[in-house]
Amino acid sequence: MSATFSVLSEPAFSMRRAVPAKASWMSASAAEKIPAGVASGGQLLHVAPDAELYSDGAESVSFYKVVSGLVRTCKFRSDGRRQIDAFYLPGDAFGFEDGGRHRLSAEAVCEAYVVAYRWRGSEAMSPADAALAPQLLSLALQGMRRAQDHALLLGRRSASQKVAAFLTDMIDRSVNDDVVELAMSRQDIADYLGLTIETVSRTLSQLERDEMIALPSARRVRVQDRLGLRHLSS
Amino acid sequence: MSATFSVLSEPAFSMRRAVPAKASWMSASAAEKIPAGVASGGQLLHVAPDAELYSDGAESVSFYKVVSGLVRTCKFRSDGRRQIDAFYLPGDAFGFEDGGRHRLSAEAVCEAYVVAYRWRGSEAMSPADAALAPQLLSLALQGMRRAQDHALLLGRRSASQKVAAFLTDMIDRSVNDDVVELAMSRQDIADYLGLTIETVSRTLSQLERDEMIALPSARRVRVQDRLGLRHLSS
DNA sequence: CGCTAAATTGATCCTCGTCAACACCCGTGG
DNA sequence: CCACGGGTGTTGACGAGGATCAATTTAGCG
């Protein structure tokens, strides 16, 4: 895994891994893609595919917002297995946690740009930061909602229900209506749903046979029976 | 299910269910058990066993803090199955969500006292409320952490790992060191872990045979090999 | 055009869900 | 005091769904 990410504004950023930071400066057009943020003073970062933005246990100095690409947060178990906590699409914020340390790793699924906002947790908030608290609160509540939905998704559901719910969620979150371009691999999906790659693959094939979806290519899903899919995930 | 809960301070509280509010006034000693809260103006409520504090979809007018007893938040699926999102012990806060509506039901597992704090979400915060934002933020981050841990617990783990993790969590959260008094039924545990009551029961029996725990009674667990248990839940 | 990683498909095993019977705990009432 | 009854928990037998191991196909990329 060639883990690299580069700071595109200020260079003073704590890197956990000794990795050569590739100098790749953003274009003006990329800068314009930054969504109207919580704070104005964000720092734009480029993260290479599979590169680690921060790791489990690392000191938490910022939270982040995705500008482009896809980010996953995950946990690595002692048995070597990986569990993915969430996928973050452009516009989504992640990485704000209390306690001074991250409790998950964050990695780019594919090449991504993220904005980092300096923030060290609700305990260490300056009076100036306090003004942002309501907006951070909104983000935290959103994050809690997402985590709760994920827990509900994982609790006692069949493989087909899980995959259908995953696809439904991806459709809802993507701009396009009926075709989803999955940036993540089958392994990523499996680790997110608590399944194996084989089961994910089999389930997708079955959904295709049932004519609920079409798979023009492995990572491209065309939804043909949106209602049926939504009903399956119940 | 005889769903009843009664407001012990002000009577103006929105009840979703047409239920006879039993007049049961708190004792002075119960009042003293209220933990130092986020806000001072909380309203003490009594909730009878299995009574619903609020239901999925209900308008969200308050968040809550457990004074005594045990509260569960849960979701009911269309197939009739129930999933428990979380258990809340004395001192834990719950029920703060954005969007104006609750997305889970809250019920008392056993007789409980909770304090309700008027709050309608981060969108509808008065300047006075804004002062509380940092503390609410801390609570929300705690809630997010809890939900994430729950999702990680449910993702691809064996029944014994799940049960061990559940017991470990209950030990960590209870005051007593090695004996846990479980207020919840096997069904509650099963719905929390995404298992069946039979599997929960079998797993507990197995843990007892392995001498990691002892079960002096069905709801009382004595932990004999705390390290082994913790290692199992990994 | 090959090389490699990713994805699919197949065969088999095992965990856990399901159905069923039974034990236990308590409160009620004879 | 014990019989009865219902709720809760335990245990057993069996089967289905998904994990595992293995082989093959497809896609991506030099």
- Chain A contacts of B100, Cβ < 8 Å? none
Does B143 reach chain A within 8 Å, measured CB to CB?
A: yes
Contact B8, B46 (CB under 8 A): yes
Distance from C-alpha of A219 to C-alpha of A70, rounded to nearest angstrom = 14
Q: B80 — phi, psi (to 5°)?
A: 90, -10
Per-position b or e across B111-148, b if 16+ CB within 10 A of its CB: bbbbbbbebbbbeebeeebbebbbbbbbbbbbbbbbbb
Nearest to B62 by CA among B14, B7, B111: B14
Tens of each residue's pLDDT in chain B, 234 residues: 434 566 554 433 333 322 332 323 333 334 444 444 444 578 999 999 999 999 999 999 999 999 999 999 999 998 889 999 999 999 999 999 999 999 999 999 999 999 999 988 888 777 777 778 888 999 999 999 999 999 999 998 999 999 999 999 999 999 888 899 999 999 999 999 999 999 999 999 999 999 999 999 999 999 999 999 999 998
Does A82 reach chain B within 8 Å, measured CB to CB?
A: no
Q: Taking residues A1-28, what's their average pLDDT?
A: 38
**Interface subset of A 181-210, CB within 8 angstroms of B:** 191, 193-195
Pairing of strands A93-94, A62-68: antiparallel
Contact B94, B86 (CB under 8 A): yes
The domains located in chain A, with CATH, are 5-154 (2.60.120.10), 159-233 (1.10.10.10)
Distance from C-alpha of B26 to C-alpha of B212, rounded to nearest angstrom = 40
Which nucleotides of strand D come closer than 7 angstroms to any CB of the protein?
A: 8-13, 17-22, 27-28
Which residue approaches C24 most closely, CA to C1'?
A: B218
CB atoms within 10 A of CB B187: 13
User: Could you give the C-alpha distances from B134 to A28, A41, A125, A179, B88, in angstroms and in order?
Assistant: 35, 20, 8, 41, 21
Distance from C-alpha of A98 to C-alpha of A72, rounded to nearest angstrom = 19
Q: Is the CB of A187 under 7 A from strand C?
A: yes
Measure, in angstroms, how far nucleotide D3 C1' is from residue B166 CA: 40
- Which residues does B3 contact at the CB level (< 8 Å), separation at least 6? B17, B19, B48, B50, B51, B52
Map tokens 């008094």 to a residue. Answer: B181
- Which residues does B92 contact at the CB level (< 8 Å), separation at least 6? B65, B66, B71
A97–B141 C-beta distance less than 8 A = yes
Nucleotide at minimal C1' distance from the B219 CA: D9
Measure, in angstroms, how far nucleotide C30 C1' is from residue B112 CA: 36
pLDDT digits (tens, 9 = 90+) for A136-158: 999 999 999 999 999 999 998 99
Closest chain B residue to A78, measured at CA: B234
